[in-house]
Structure 1
């Protein structure tokens, strides 16, 4: 009977403050949606880091006819190539695999990658030097290879792909941080709106609260309906946000990107399910704390 009375009181409160409840739902939904996007962006960055760092290569570009480096007074010779290859073989197990790419193969790869751009017409065989593509068992130990072959006979430059990837992931991390900051501001707005909703609801029912105090109702019995009203609105907003996140990831990644991008590590709808408990648990904790503090500090029921 007490539960039925409590739920009835909550329902009446939601109906009386329907516009404020809808506002809490919408602000919570937008806040958690933005926060969820930030969390998913970070998961995508982590997935891509794991994928690419396992495949990162050190490129040892050899001297060619068009090389401008001071170390390249003439094109690399066969003896120099064999010396470089022998040094790489001696660096196992740090050196996991070694691939030699000729000038023709480098041109063919470039032509395939940029076939839809005008760059292809400006490049000819020989403009891209031959190279050794070295895959390391531990990509963080690039300096071992770099110091061994920098300015070596026949070597033009030594390039670490990890440095390029770090810049790319730095940009992703900044975008993620920006999304989280915006989401935090929206969460702050939701918190303030929850507090305002409780204060308005308590003010509109001050007569009922006075009667309940007269008949000996406890503070817990008086405060619980207000807390449940905000909690219900917040949970509905969280559920809508999770649904929007799942729809976004499902259609953009599962139904589209995963069908056209075959060699990338992409998040999926299951990642939404992984972050959903944190979003839902966070909004429940936020709603309860905001309601409790507001009722205790401002209303003094």
Structure 2
């Protein structure tokens, strides 16, 4: 009987404040969708870091004959075989080094041509202008500074380059998107909370006669407040369901369209979205229930 009464009161409250309830549902849906998107962007960045950092290399480029005129560190001319071998010996002694592969000038020139065959410089650039290099994979790619300090400025070495730096701009962009989504989420969440507070106050005011009668017949505060709290939680549940639908639609678009357009990025899958959805539902309902409970305690005497 009590459960039936609470459910009937929820229906009454939703019908009486239909427009405000719709506003609550939409604002909660948008704020939770942004919260979920922020969490998914964080997971995407972490996934990409784990995927790409394992593939990036540190390149130790050697001086060429052409570098003798343009690079002060290569004033002695092209790197000798002994200098190249000395770098290999030093790499073999470093526990940080996972693998090391030597790329000759001819191999580097061929790869450069294949990467950009329409480049006008290809026809005027000799093969010996492209430097040879050691391509080094590290057990911990974040410790590039050790390789940098060990080989930068050594005889025959033109430059020590960390490919990881190329990815930092991309990761920075994604982190920026995550921050923007978080800021907008906080703004939308504030709007949702204000709407929940106002909806509960209006709903309680419109039913003040019913609640007064319930108090006269000995109903407890919890029993009187429960319909209002359940009403807010139900509206938040609808918003969370909408937010979940938006995330699923977004994931479908990423997997079936964006993944085909941007194939160099390893996108997170549906499993990550499904892990976020229960959190959004629980967070939305708890947030609404707490807001309604505090509103009733502070502003209304029921």
Alignment TM-score > 0.5, same fold:
yes
Deviation at 1:82, TM superposition (A): 2.1
Q: Is the counterpart of residue 298 in structure 1 residue 299 in structure 2?
A: yes
CA contact (8 A) 2:234 2:285 kept: no
How far apart in 2 are the matches of 1:35 and 1:127? 51
Tell me the residue number matched to 2:54. Answer: 54
* 1:51–1:264 contact (8 Å) kept in structure 2: no
The reply to whether residue 41 of structure 1 matches residue 44 of structure 2 is no
The aligned counterpart of 1:285 is: 286
The Cα RMSD (Å) is 1.9
Deviation at 1:261, TM superposition (A): 5.3
Q: CA deviation at 1:215?
A: 2.1
Q: 212-221 or 280-289: which moved more? A: 212-221
Q: Is 1:3 matched up with 2:3? A: yes
Could you tell me how far apart the structure 1 residues matched to 2:150 and 2:218 are?
84
For 1:245 and 1:182, the matched residues in 2 are separated by: 16
1:1-301 equivalences under 5 Å are 1-67=1-67, 68-73=70-75, 74-91=77-94, 93-114=95-116, 120-123=119-122, 124=125, 125-252=127-254, 254-259=255-260, 264-301=265-302
CA distance in 1, matches of 2:113, 2:258: 24
- Residues 54-80 of structure 1, C-alpha deviations (whole Å, 9 max, x = no match): 222111011013322212121122232
Please give the alpha-carbon distance, in whole angstroms, between the structure 2 residues aligned to 1:94 and 1:12: 68
Instruction: Using the TM superposition, name which of 56-65 and 183-192 deviates more.
Output: 56-65
Q: TM-score, normalised by structure 1?
A: 0.91
The offset of 1:274, in angstroms, is 1.3
C-alpha separation in 2, matches of 1:166 and 1:262: 18
* Shift in alpha-carbon separation, 1:209–1:167, aligned structure 2, 3 A: same
The answer to which of 7-16 and 188-197 deviates more is 7-16
The Cα shift of 1:49 comes to: 0.8
Contact kept? 2:225, 2:296, Cα under 8 Å: yes
- In the alignment, the residues of structure 2 paired with residue 158 and residue 121 of structure 1 have an alpha-carbon distance, to the nearest angstrom, of 27
Cα distance, 1:235 vs structure 2: 0.6
The secondary structure found in structure 2 opposite 1:28 is: helix
Secondary structure, in 3 states, of the residue corresponding to 1:146? helix
Change (3 A) 1:249 1:126: farther
**TM-score, normalised with respect to structure 2:** 0.91
On the 8 A contact 2:34/2:184 being kept in 1, the answer is: yes
Deviates more, 1:176-185 or 1:154-163: 154-163
Given that residues 198 and 294 in structure 1 are in contact (C-alpha distance below 8 angstroms), is that contact kept between their aligned partners in structure 2? yes
Looking at structure 2, the residues matched to 158 and 231 of structure 1 have their Cα atoms a distance apart, in angstroms, of: 58
The whole-number CA distance in structure 1 between the counterparts of 2:185 and 2:112 is: 41
**Structure 1's 168 and 264: CA in aligned 2 closer, same or farther, altered over 3 A?**
closer
- Asked whether the equivalents of residues 33 and 244 of structure 1 are also in contact (C-alpha less than 8 Å), the reply is yes
Cα gap change, 1:179/1:107 in structure 2, threshold over 3 Å: closer, same or farther? farther
2:81 and 2:107 map into 1 onto residues whose CA distance is 17
